[in-house]
Amino acid sequence: ESVLSSYLNRTPIQSNVLGTEHVIFPFRFNLSQKKALENALTSSISVIEGPPGTGKTQTILNIIANLVAVQKVLLLYQTTMKR
C-alpha cells in the first residue's frame, strides 16, 4: 500500500524505508544534497525544496536512480512558481 493510498483512505502510513548502505550517486552532489537523499531513502515522504540553482533536480535524479536500482515505486510531483 502506498503512502498516497494510506493518506486518501485515512489509514496509518506503513514504514517501508530503504537503508543507506548501498546509496549510489550517478549525478553530482554536495553534502546538503547527500543528506536530502539519505533522508528521502529513510522516510516514507520527502519534500525537496529550495531556490533556483540549489541542486534540487540533481538531488531528485539521485533519489530516482536509487529507487529504480532497488525496484521501488516513486510518486513525483513538481510545481513551478511562475512570476
Ordered DSSP codes for 6-68: HHHHT-PPPP-PPPSTT---SS---HHHHHHHHHHHTSS------STTSSHHHHHHHHHHHHH
Q: What is the mean pLDDT of residues 64-74?
A: 86
For 1-37, write each residue's pLDDT tens digit.
677 788 889 888 776 667 777 889 999 999 999 999 9
CB distance 41 to 23 below 8 Å: yes
pTM: 0.74
Q: How far apart are CA 38 and CA 4, in angstroms?
A: 21
